[in-house]
Amino acid sequence: MKTRPARRGQRHPIAVDVEVTNLELGIQIKERTKDLSLYGCGLSTATPFSAGTKVMLKVTYAGQEIVVFGKVIYGRRDIGMGIVFTTIEAHDRELLEDWFAA
């Protein structure tokens, strides 16, 4: 039986607005997260990007916005899209931690 690797961080079931841009094609989609962590997020979307797609995310919560870069790790119409963060600035990471603490 195949085992899953342990997750790096706790997932938080926070539904926040996110704009995801496919960096290669310039295509943007606006969705909501189904979960969020310091290392990535899951999105409920019927129009996911393919695994491996490099993306930029603008995540908005309580009137504040962070920008992170990431890569799609899975994209399926039935379960949505999973994104791992590849670059997040220190200030944006701190803001994300504040959102989890609220």
Res. 4 pLDDT band, cuts 50 70 90: very low
Q: What angle do CA 38, 40, 43 make, to 5 degrees?
A: 130
Specify the long-range contacts of residues 89-92, CB closer than 8 Å, at least 24 apart: 92/66, 92/67, 92/68
Domain extents for the chain? 17-101
Alpha-helix runs per DSSP H in the chain: 90-101
Q: What is the pTM of this model?
A: 0.87
Bridge partner residues of 87 (DSSP) = 69
- Note the pLDDT of residue 69: 98
- Residue 6: is its pLDDT beyond 70? no
Fold of 17-101: Thrombin, subunit H (2.40.10)
**pLDDT tens across 27-85, in order?**
999 999 999 999 999 998 989 999 999 999 999 998 999 999 999 999 999 999 999 99
What pLDDT was estimated at residue 5? 47
**Residues recorded for the chain:** 102
The answer to whether 50 and 82 have CB atoms below 8 angstroms apart is no
